[in-house]
Structure 1
Amino acid sequence: MLISKFIIDFLCIHPFNDGNGRMSRLLTLLLLYQQGYIVGKYISIEMIIEKTKETYYDTLKESSALWHEGKNNYAPFVKYYLSVILSAYKEFASRVETIINKGLTKSERIRYIFSNKVGKITKSEIAALCPDISVTTIEKALSDLLKEEYIIKVGIGRSTAYIRNHESS
């Protein structure tokens, strides 16, 4: 992906005393828009980068090593940037599904999330996917799904998450 290579070059040139990271993210959005990738209008790419900033900095460091000698390896940062864009599109698709499923009851929408989710999901992630559903309603739906054995609770406390019980389907 040429855009991520451009961003590495921009960051290695480091044209400003301050704000190069912010400027690189604005340039990313501009270049994505110019190429027809408009997901950044609906999903905050900057938030995805913020949530994965440790990986961002690791891949940036790895891909910028030996840049001044022209011997750097763009691949780690390109892969990272592609994962950010993919994550944005997945989140966008999930939100579109939520809108499409507005005809479902709130409990049915939460069940639907599990029917299409691979892996764990937390209560806060469900709340982010369904901002119109109260935490109380989410907790009630999760409780009902647990009683039905449609989902399984994993972890405790802050690390509590839920996965679909594939044996009950």
Structure 2
Amino acid sequence: MLRTDTLQITTEILALIARIDEFKGAWRALGTLAPERLSALRRVATIESIGSSTRIEGSKLSDREVERLLANLEIKRFDTRDEQEVAGYAKVMEVVFSAWQDIPFTENYIKQLHQILLQHSDKDHWHRGQYKTNTNSVAAFDEHGEQIGIVFQTASPFDTPRRMTELIAWVDAQRESRLLHPLLIAAIFVVVFLEIHPFQDGNGRISRALTTLLLLQAGYAYVPYSSLESVIELNKEAYYLALRQTQGTIRADAPNWQPWLAFFLRSLAEQVRRLEKKVEREKLVLASLPELSLQIVEFAREHGRVTIGDVIRLTGASRNTLKAHFRKLVERGHLGQQGSGRGVWYELR
């Protein structure tokens, strides 16, 4: 059984929880942007989350390539392993975002999400939605997608069903008793889940989808609008180190939860900080920019980049008028210019 009775709540952990919960409470007011603006924020965050979560596991697709792939999901057939992983993760996130209120946190539903995650990969058909039958381990990958080492040896296939049943029972008991903060429940679930590594493949990706599910079910409604996965990707070495430091003690009499709790909560706090910055920028833009400039910024947010030609096709405005708007947006720090001459394009700063 999990030993959380020795869990020590440090002042840093308390401060991080207070910071995250403060934003959770303020989100209703902060989130009063127009629906189309919130939709754009969510779309960008979803692309970032899918790209980052799959790259953590070794995918090489950029966010731009992920965006193009998502625009063609209806093709249902993906040639490369990276494309299959992105398509599967996108579907899982769609299910979590749209149905989180109706998804019981049970082993059967976790298996169903795993089946969805691997639905496009023929190579994985034999173990989709089933606990592992062969031993596996947690591996770390570099920025080129190459494996750089084993982070942790995991539970045996024989022990996996029992330990997963114990873990889900622990989550249920903690949620019902409300003695442990929901963020701590989510954090402990994730690190133990990854220590068990219950599936043959896809454990990292499904753990991040389940993190989102737990957070949404705990009332953290802002989660779809800022990518936690991208925060983890940028701190991948610290992510693996925190996992290793805590996972090596989970079955001891006094587990050391601190390394993972600190990393997890710091990452959630950074997710909040990024979203606060985005919302404030949105409000500033809404309050101060003319309609044509707003359309330019909106296009850049939805597509990752924008050219004068894009906006001509979108609005029918003249090139000279648009040049003036683009120049002011660059001067005021809303857009950054890339390239020169006929190949110039712009992105959000």
Report TM bin, short chain: 0.5 to 0.7
Aligned to 1:83: 266
Counterpart CA distance in 2 for 1:5 and 1:108 is: 46
Is 2:228 the partner of 1:45? yes
Alignment partner for residue 4 of structure 1, among 181, 187, 195?
A: 187
Aligned to 1:96: 279
Higher relative contact order, chain-length normalized (CA < 8 Å, sep 6+): 2
Superposed CA offset, 1:48-102 (max 9, x none): 1111111000000001112233432111111111111111111111011111111
Alignment partner for residue 134 of structure 1, among 333, 336, 348?
A: 336
Query: In structure 2, the residue corresponding to 1:86 is in which secondary structure?
Result: helix
Query: In structure 2, the residue corresponding to 1:69 is in which secondary structure?
Result: coil
Counterpart CA distance in 2 for 1:77 and 1:135 is: 39
Bigger radius of gyration: 2
Distance 1:95 1:51, change over 3 A: same
Contact 2:330–2:337 (8 Å) recurs in 1: no
Q: Which runs of 5+ in 1 are unaligned?
A: 111-129, 137-169
Counterpart CA distance in 2 for 1:109 and 1:101 is: 11
Superposed CA offset, 1:85-128 (max 9, x none): 11111111101111111116646753xxxxxxxxxxxxxxxxxx
Distance 1:70 1:9, change over 3 A: farther
Shift, 1:2, TM fit: 1.7
Counterpart CA distance in 1 for 2:245 and 2:204 is: 16
Q: What does 1:1-169 align with in structure 2 at a 5 Å threshold?
A: 1-102=184-285, 103=288, 106=329, 109-110=332-333, 130=334, 133-135=335-337
Aligned to 1:114: none
Query: In structure 2, the residue corresponding to 1:134 is in which secondary structure?
Result: strand
Contact 2:191–2:247 (8 Å) recurs in 1: yes
Paired AA for residue 37 in structure 1: Y
Counterpart CA distance in 1 for 2:207 and 2:253 is: 20
Counterpart CA distance in 1 for 2:278 and 2:209 is: 23
Identity over aligned residues, as a percent? 35
- Please, what is the CA RMSD of the aligned residues? 1.8
Shift, 1:18, TM fit: 1.0
Contact 2:190–2:207 (8 Å) recurs in 1: yes
Shift, 1:39, TM fit: 2.9
Shift, 1:47, TM fit: 1.1
Distance 1:108 1:70, change over 3 A: farther
Distance 1:74 1:46, change over 3 A: same
Aligned to 2:122: none
Query: In structure 1, the residue corresponding to 2:282 is in which secondary structure?
Result: helix
Counterpart CA distance in 1 for 2:330 and 2:280 is: 15
Query: In structure 2, the residue corresponding to 1:66 is in which secondary structure?
Result: coil
Counterpart CA distance in 1 for 2:210 and 2:245 is: 21
Shift, 1:44, TM fit: 1.2
Structure 1 segments (4+ residues) deviating >2 Å: 68-72, 104-110
Paired AA for residue 216 in structure 2: Y
TM-score scaled by structure 2? 0.31
Query: In structure 2, the residue corresponding to 1:135 is in which secondary structure?
Result: strand
